[in-house]
Copies of this chain bind each other. A is one copy, B any other.
């Protein structure tokens, strides 16, 4: 075997500790695969003394991660601190500046500074690798960069956030409310004390921005992604979806259209028969549509220390083998500017749920508004809440009744305009709920 590859690991949280343990336990596996020994020579962490289950007595400790990057006994920096700036950004820049390859799991940093950091890595001729940044243990980055290199990718979509998928799965399986499931997710450590970042879709958007760049060869623009979270999803929506043959999943979807990249994160109605519909709990699933291969779906653990560490080590082994593939699959100079297709131009089916006052003419008025906007309905379901209730004999409003409609493909602007007018017409009790349907 040739020279050892010496790692410096910045950040020893769940993933960092797993990387340490896996390299200790599986050293021969990773080293055999790499064709050379892989050793950890330095670490940096906030708490020096915590037990990570591995003997660190022979490993240098740096209070400042930038010092770890500068350590002459460190060949490669593994950044597992997290965050779009601060210490994470500093150590990555320092390492690349010194011509040291970087392996990172930091989606926020990449979504914000990815292209700039890729350019720096390119200037120094070293790798910037980030398999662990998207979908945990699932090798989606490598599949996009390498396995589908002969394909034009038309769409990438998937379940990229295990917290949201856990909540939606439990709501559906146990008929629980969002709030109850969120609290359980927090108790189990699947969701943070402040769950906004996960449940409002921002985490998914960061990951999607990276996938879109790799898929379409464009620069990253995390701000250009349309984002809706799952906190507005009710049990009524989930039950109505079930009845109509759908499940509701938080998807990140990026599609190449004639006007640019349409990238969106929102609760999505997916046919029960689709692979993403059947991806439950904290699993992630990513589907890649290529012109040659058709559709490939990758399913696996999207989070967790060991699964994420598996991806970190895969990147380290690639570095040890000596390959340097551009961070986003092509030189940064060849990345095209990101042209955003606005959500208003999105065309697809929609699920609409509204509470309608139960009086003559209401349904006709609603149907007329839809027709005026050229919207055809695939199905419509209205059931009285109390079964066997008699039809109202007077025009006096009773409790508003839920009305669920599925539209054929229509333009986002058309459905939004129609719903605004329906609301103004006064036949419905509150703002309609709109959930996009994805053709899978």
Contact = CB atoms under 8 A, between A and B. Distances in A.
Interface of A: 18, 22-23, 26, 29-30, 32-35, 131, 137-139, 142-143, 145-152, 217, 275, 278, 290-301, 304, 306-307, 309-314, 316-318, 321-323, 325-326, 329-331, 334
A309 B147 contact: no
Contacts of A22: 150, 292
Protomer copies:
2
Nearest to A143: B139
Contacts of A33: 145, 149-150, 329-330
Contacts of A298: 296-299
Contacts of A330: 32-33, 35
9 contacts: A33-B329, A137-B292, A137-B294, A147-B314, A150-B313, A275-B299, A292-B306, A293-B310, A297-B298
A26 B151 contact: yes
Nearest to A217: B32
B309 A294 contact: no
A331 B29 CA distance: 13
B313 A149 contact: yes
Contact of A293 (B296, B300, B322): B300
Given A22-B150, A26-B151, A26-B152, A325 B314 contact: no
A317 B29 contact: no
Contact of A131 (B23, B147, B321): B147
Contact of A139 (B147, B294, B300, B334): B147
B318 A290 contact: no
Nearest to A305: B292
A309 B150 contact: yes
Contact of A323 (B131, B143, B321): B321
A135 to B, nearest CB: 10
Given A29-B152, A150-B317, A294-B307, 11 more contacts: A29-B150, A33-B330, A275-B278, A292-B309, A292-B310, A294-B300, A294-B301, A294-B304, A295-B301, A297-B298, A299-B299
Nearest to A139: B147
Nearest to A306: B292
